[in-house]
């Protein structure tokens, strides 16, 4: 294949825009450990406002932000409830155990969504000789469940149940802006029930960074924990400048990613051998069941690569495609042509 491959492995492959590079070059900076980086401070203010929170903090990665949140919201030996294919369960290297000494309890949801009946069994009072359940983590959109948007009424209901039982709640909202576009709601509304992490480096195209947002006391503690985890950065305004552009302009065009993903999914489904186990595409992620093509997910990935289309596999045996800014509408047509021999 001499043509360049079309790369659907992840929206983290999105590259910074020209506007971001210009803003980075021009960024006013200072030492952010001393809280003297004006651009980082501005990003944190703008992000807090966008998410409807008192304060926010810039992190080098979503993983670090999630791990800092877990550190602050649960104590060693306590349990943290996470949906079983959740990012903080499967893709953070056991960080909750390694860094915070907590026990992660992976609970079954439905297409990534923990509904009240999934939660009830874990909320009962426990005797003193069992671990205490401290925290519930939800994920919106749900990465490994095909980019599902958490239905907001269910979200509010389970958070309320958890709180009533004495738990804290936290949202892994790496793709919260994709969810907001899909349901035409402000991100602040979707984030209202909890502290939240959002990624700037995925669909929003910034080169690096995530935001943790919540009330002022939580973010003050998070600043200490970020330093503890080695995430105290210096002239980080160079990166924050790209984050500001991402927040200002990146959200609007997520609708295009959604349209591209919908069209790719329609093309994959048309011959009748690819299925979507988590239901219709809602955002920029497709997780497909390809077993009826006669291939495993791994075999499909290799065959697709040979034909110039890159995708990834999930731990659940699915094939995953993501759309992002660098994937254009024309790329969808080319990808479908290339994949036709595999799916027809």
Ligand X SMILES: *Cc1c(COP(=O)(O)O)cnc(C)c1O
| Contacting residue, 39, 66, 67, 313, with ligand X by CB under 6 A | 66
* Distance in Å, CB of 246 to ligand X, minimum: 13
Q: Which is nearer to ligand X, 198 or 238 (CB)?
A: 198
Q: Which stretch binds ligand X (CB under 6 A): 61-69, 97-105, 147-155, 228-236?
A: 61-69
Residue 152 CA, chain-centre distance (Å), reads 17
Q: Which is nearer to ligand X, 169 or 343 (CB)?
A: 169
Q: Which is nearer to ligand X, 137 or 158 (CB)?
A: 137
Number of neighbouring beta carbons within 10 Å of residue 54:
13
* Distance in Å, CB of 134 to ligand X, minimum: 20
* Distance in Å, CB of 250 to ligand X, minimum: 15
Q: Which is nearer to ligand X, 293 or 323 (CB)?
A: 323
Beta bridge partners of 135: 80, 168
Decide if residue 205 touches ligand X (CB under 6 A).
no
Decide if residue 261 touches ligand X (CB under 6 A).
no
Decide if residue 256 touches ligand X (CB under 6 A).
no
Q: What's the rounded Cα separation, in Å, for the pair 17 and 192?
A: 30
| Contacting residue, 139, 256, 257, 331, with ligand X by CB under 6 A | 139
| Contacting residue, 7, 17, 62, 338, with ligand X by CB under 6 A | 62
Nearest to 203 by CA among 181, 220, 172, 226: 181
Q: What's the rounded Cα separation, in Å, for the pair 226 and 57?
A: 9
Q: Which 166-195 residues touch ligand X, going by CB under 6 A?
A: 172, 174
Q: What are phi and psi of 305, to 5 degrees?
A: -60, -40
Distances (CA, A) of 128 to 106, 161, 247: 22, 21, 46
Decide if residue 61 touches ligand X (CB under 6 A).
yes
* Distance in Å, CB of 173 to ligand X, minimum: 8
Q: Which stretch binds ligand X (CB under 6 A): 17-25, 55-63, 256-264, 331-339?
A: 55-63
Quote the radius of gyration of the chain (alpha carbons, Å): 20
Distances (CA, A) of 194 to 116, 191, 285: 17, 6, 24
Q: What's the rounded Cα separation, in Å, for the pair 184 and 199?
A: 19
- Number of continuous H segments (helices) and E segments (strands) in the chain: 14, 12
Q: Which 142-161 residues touch ligand X, going by CB under 6 A?
A: 143
Q: 332 is written with which tokens?
A: 């969808």
Decide if residue 314 touches ligand X (CB under 6 A).
no
* Distance in Å, CB of 63 to ligand X, minimum: 3
* Distance in Å, CB of 143 to ligand X, minimum: 4
Q: Which residue has the tokens 């006013």?
A: 28
Decide if residue 89 touches ligand X (CB under 6 A).
no
Identify the helix (H) or strand (E) that includes residue 79.
strand 79-83
| Site residue total, ligand X (CB under 6 A) | 12
Distances (CA, A) of 158 to 45, 133, 137, 165, 216: 29, 15, 11, 11, 24
Decide if residue 63 touches ligand X (CB under 6 A).
yes
Residues forming the site for ligand X (CB under 6 A): 61-63, 66, 87, 139, 143, 172, 174, 199, 201, 210
């Amino acid at each position: 294949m001499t043509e360049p491959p079309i790369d659907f492995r992840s929206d983290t492959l999105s590259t910074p825009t020209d506007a971001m590079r210009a803003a980075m070059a021009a960024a006013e900076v200072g030492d952010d450990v001393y809280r003297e980086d004006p651009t980082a401070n501005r990003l944190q203010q703008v992000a807090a406002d966008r998410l409807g929170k008192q304060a926010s903090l810039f992190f080098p990665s979503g993983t670090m932000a999630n791990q800092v949140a877990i550190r602050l919201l649960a104590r060693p030996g306590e349990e943290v409830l996470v949906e079983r294919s959740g990012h903080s369960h499967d893709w953070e290297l056991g960080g909750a155990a390694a860094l915070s000494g907590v026990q992660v309890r992976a609970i079954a949801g439905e297409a990534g969504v923990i509904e009240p009946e999934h939660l009830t069994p874990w909320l009962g009072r426990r005797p003193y000789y069992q671990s205490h359940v401290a925290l519930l983590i939800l994920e919106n959109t749900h990465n490994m469940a095909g980019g599902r948007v958490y239905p907001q009424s269910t979200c509010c209901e389970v958070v309320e149940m958890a709180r009533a039982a004495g738990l804290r709640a936290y949202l892994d909202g790496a793709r919260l802006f994709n969810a907001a576009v899909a349901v035409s709601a402000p991100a602040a509304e979707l984030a209202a029930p909890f502290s939240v992490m959002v990624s700037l480096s995925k669909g929003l195209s910034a080169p690096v960074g995530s935001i943790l947002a919540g009330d002022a006391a939580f973010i003050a503690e998070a600043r200490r924990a970020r330093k503890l985890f080695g995430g105290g950065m210096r002239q980080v305004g160079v990166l924050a400048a790209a984050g500001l552009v991402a927040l200002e302009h990146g959200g609007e065009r997520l609708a295009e990613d959604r349209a591209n993903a919908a069209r790719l999914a329609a093309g994959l489904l048309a011959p009748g051998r690819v299925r979507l186990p988590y239901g219709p595409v809602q955002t920029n992620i497709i997780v497909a069941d390809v077993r009826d093509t006669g291939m495993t997910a791994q075999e499909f990935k290799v065959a697709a690569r040979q034909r110039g289309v890159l995708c990834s596999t999930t731990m659940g045996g699915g094939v995953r495609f993501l759309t992002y800014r660098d994937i254009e509408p024309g790329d969808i047509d080319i990808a479908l042509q290339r994949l036709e021999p595999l799916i027809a």
